[in-house]
Amino acid sequence: MNMITNHLPTAELQALDAAHHMHPFTDSNALAAKGARVITGAKGVHLRDSDGQEIMDCMAGLWCVNIGYGRDSIAEVARRQLLELPYYNTFFQTTHVPAIALAEKVTSLAPDHMNHVFFAAGGSDANDTNIRLVRHYWALKGKPEKQVIISRKNAYHGSTVGAASLGGMQAMHGQGTLPIPGVVHINQPHWYLEGGDMTPEEFGLQRARELEKKIAELGEDNVAAFIAEPIQGAGGVIIPPSTYWPEIQRICDAHEILLIADEVICGFGRTGNMWGSDTFSIRPDIMTIAKGLSSGYAPIGGSILSDEVFDVMATDEFYHGYTYSGHPMSCAVALENLRILEEENLIGNVRDVTAPYLAEKWAGLGEHPLVGEARICGLVGALQLTPDKASRAAFAEGPGNVGVIARDLCFEDNFIMRHVGDQLIISPPLIFSKENIDTLAEKAWKVLDKTMASAT
């Protein structure tokens, strides 16, 4: 057989892909019929495909390539680390310099009360760590019955058995007998879809107080933790009303419930601050990190712990760890990524320059007749599509069909926005410029026009 390289014709690559590669979150039959788009390279905010097309990536891969594609210094750091120490573990009283340096760096960026990190290979396994960790924490505190973790419907915390159980995606729970015991879900703070006649502020309070009701129902002596993304990402970029997080914080504090902020998307600048927890004034006990930690250049994630949680955990050996916890190359890559993030002032630039500019353009897209709500925070946003702005009605075509039309039109026009139901979402690299935003706004308006023509 020929060597499989970028130089093979697209159709041949697609046929080989369909024949041997089972993709994540993909309808295999649809893929075999149509053929996957083959991405062969990337630079800055643009991808290149096997037909030589340039595609503007308004999703930063999967919400992760914050520093943009094609950074030489990251490749150089990875190469050097692979030659010096490609692998050693951090189990059984050993360590290595990249893990030491990254742990020091990440915790220096974290809130003051958080000074330890437990490494994983991504966000899902970091959340699995959190499940075991919070349960063991309470056992060590003499409250072993505090076991239940409360999460939210339509949350996404990953795909492992534990993380998918924490998540509140019904379709995922329908496969593989999930959630695992001891994980329960309350409603999400999605004002547009579920707020009815309430103001966003009233609705935010009401949804937060569901947590207090659930704790009362379960008994606070049985509840270990509440986990939530500061902004629900994969659920549709759900930016909670301003009343939501302060009330959640009050409830967790009042009932001795650990608060886990899943910062996998929001962390490292996505919302215009280092952490989504900064943006929403959350004081977490644990933060889940991944994605922007390495900007996707190498697989790595982790759990950052408060001093209080670490001090209790440190009284016992935690029988938990991954072969790739603190992988040397991933740590070195993450460090270089964080150096770039700081040296180029990417977060400051988002906060002061591009986020306000995007907010203006996003509000402009909100004027389109097909858009019921244009949500934005930092460089993450959603356009809620509707056939009728006034009533916030759903499409007669059924949920998601119009969203797919719009998403496909974006793809055909060589820019990537994702759809979640009838919401179009973006999460571009943090290096996205004002010119990129202009291009996005122009292209998005045209896509909305075309979608309207084909959907109504």
Footprint of ligand PLP (CB under 6 A): 62, 122-124, 127, 156-158, 229, 233-234, 262, 264-265, 290, 301
Pull the structure tokens for residue 193: 């879809």
* Backbone angles phi and psi of 250, in degrees to 5: -60, -45
* Backbone angles phi and psi of 244, in degrees to 5: -70, -60
Smallest distance from the beta carbon of 185 to ligand PLP, in angstroms? 15
Smallest distance from the beta carbon of 146 to ligand PLP, in angstroms? 23
What are the residue ranges of helices labelled H in 222-327? 244-254, 276-279, 307-313
Under DSSP, is residue 55 helix (H, G, I), strand (E, B) or coil? strand
Residue with smaller CB distance to ligand PLP, 186 or 234: 234
Smallest distance from the beta carbon of 176 to ligand PLP, in angstroms? 16
309 close to 115: Cβ distance less than 8 angstroms: no
Pull the structure tokens for residue 331: 């740590």
Residue with smaller CB distance to ligand PLP, 166 or 371: 166
Q: Which residues contact 362 (CB under 8 A, 6 or more apart)?
A: 374, 376, 381, 383, 441
Smallest distance from the beta carbon of 290 to ligand PLP, in angstroms? 4
201 close to 243: Cβ distance less than 8 angstroms: yes
Residue with smaller CB distance to ligand PLP, 111 or 292: 292
Residue with smaller CB distance to ligand PLP, 124 or 330: 124
Smallest distance from the beta carbon of 4 to ligand PLP, in angstroms? 26
Q: Which helix (H) or strand (E) holds 342?
A: helix 328-343
Pull the structure tokens for residue 391: 């009533």
Q: What is the DSSP string of 407-448?
A: HHHHHHTTEE-EEETTEEEE---TT--HHHHHHHHHHHHHHH
Residue 318 to residue 310: CA distance in whole angstroms:
11
Smallest distance from the beta carbon of 24 to ligand PLP, in angstroms? 9
Side chain identity, residue 73: S
269 close to 346: Cβ distance less than 8 angstroms: yes
Q: Which residue is nearest to ligand PLP (CB)?
A: 123
Residue 304 to residue 123: CA distance in whole angstroms:
12
Q: What is the DSSP string of 360-415?
A: HHHHHHTTSTTEEEEEEETTEEEEEE-S-TTTTPPPTT-TTHHHHHHHHHHHHTTE
Residue with smaller CB distance to ligand PLP, 146 or 157: 157
Smallest distance from the beta carbon of 59 to ligand PLP, in angstroms? 11
Smallest distance from the beta carbon of 168 to ligand PLP, in angstroms? 12
